[in-house]
Amino acid sequence: MIQASAARTRQAFERQRIVAHELAQMIGLAFHDPRKLPKYEPAGQSQTKAAPPSTEADDELARGYLIHLALRSQP
């Protein structure tokens, strides 16, 4: 339990470091070239839609399982 608490504290600290680093980049960009500053978008409302995940691996697993069943049922 103590290790989990320490890990949670380290993760929170790392998240704060990431936010501070991104903020520093944004401040520098806004100061030197404000036209390049990205527009604000609320979290989870991205303009670009993600491509549907590939099902190739699932298809191959299903194919292999069906081949296994066919070979197993042969005498």
pLDDT digits (tens, 9 = 90+) for 13-39: 999 999 999 899 889 888 888 887 778
Q: How far is CA 19 from the centre of its chain?
A: 16
Asked whether residue 24 is assigned to any structural domain, the reply reads yes
Q: Which of 34-38, 45-49, 65-69 has the lowest mean pLDDT?
A: 45-49
Asked whether residue 70 is assigned to any structural domain, the reply reads no
pLDDT(48) > 70? no
Average pLDDT taken over every residue of the chain: 84
Asked whether residue 56 is assigned to any structural domain, the reply reads no
- What domain range is 15 assigned to? 1-40
Asked whether residue 71 is assigned to any structural domain, the reply reads no
Asked whether residue 67 is assigned to any structural domain, the reply reads no
Asked whether residue 18 is assigned to any structural domain, the reply reads yes
Asked whether residue 35 is assigned to any structural domain, the reply reads yes
Per the structure, how many domains does the chain have?
1
Residue 19: what pLDDT?
Answer: 92
CA 25 vs CA 1, 22, 33, 40, 60: distances in Å: 36, 5, 12, 15, 44
